[in-house]
Amino acid sequence: MEKMYTLPKLPYDYRSLAPYISEDQLTLHHTKHHQAYVTGANALLEKFDKARKEKTDFDVKATSKELSFHIGGNRLHALFWKNLAPAGNGGGGLPKGDLAKAIDAEFGGFDRFRREFSTAATSVEGSGWAALSYCNESGRLLMMQIEKHNMNTFPGYPLLMVLDVWEHAYYLDYRNDRAKFVEAFWNIVNWDEVGKRLAGAVKK
């Protein structure tokens, strides 16, 4: 059997991010919504395998677009879980080391960076993500506003930090108040993980 996508385990339990993300919200987000993208991607891979085995055709344009949506959802969620940590136990506070220096160099300080990232998150049209990325060519940190899971991305740019602002990420805890969820996010950012991603990106 060919390899398929699997739902990654969280690096903490479902209660660990409370009160910023409740146990019910995190459980639903991980086991239902993230799982749906894993299931969707695998279903399309099976469709490809069957069509190729039976030598039948399928709508390449439509299925390719659908696959990018599900793979994007799976990949972004996997990054999202790892750049979170319980408040006071790896989450929150301020970035340190090379990450802090890079933020200062690009944005002129953490407060400016936080304001720009929060604005990117709150102003995404419809459902999507805010993301911090790194450009190897220029050596600069760049902000992305990703619509859905697969639109307005910079191809090949490694993602250092992502924030899911689909309503499924916060509606049990914050109703339709996306801004309040974005504000809560800063209490559970795992800066060590973000720093490791930057170090890996620079090394490459």
For the chain, give every domain's residue range.
Answer: 21-204
Which tens digit of pLDDT belongs to each residue from 128-153?
A: 999 999 999 999 999 999 999 999 99
pLDDT at 173: 98
Q: Which two tokens stand for residue 56?
A: 């039948």
pLDDT band at residue 204 under the 50/70/90 scheme: confident
Which tens digit of pLDDT belongs to each residue from 78-91?
A: 999 999 999 999 99
User: Is it true that domain 21-204 has CATH number 3.40.50.300?
Assistant: no
Q: Which two tokens stand for residue 144?
A: 């992305």
Contact by Cβ (8 Å): 161, 91: no
Q: Which two tokens stand for residue 41?
A: 């991607």
Backbone angles phi, psi at 62, to 5 degrees: -70, -45
Return the SS3 of 45. helix
Q: What is the pTM of this model?
A: 0.95
Q: Whole-angstrom Cα distance, residue 69 to residue 150?
A: 6
Is residue 113 over pLDDT 70? yes
Instruction: With CA atoms as reference, report the closest residue to 166 among 92, 76, 87.
Output: 76
Percent composition of the chain: helix, strand, coil (DSSP 3-state, to 5):
50, 15, 35
Q: Whole-angstrom Cα distance, residue 161 to residue 143?
A: 10
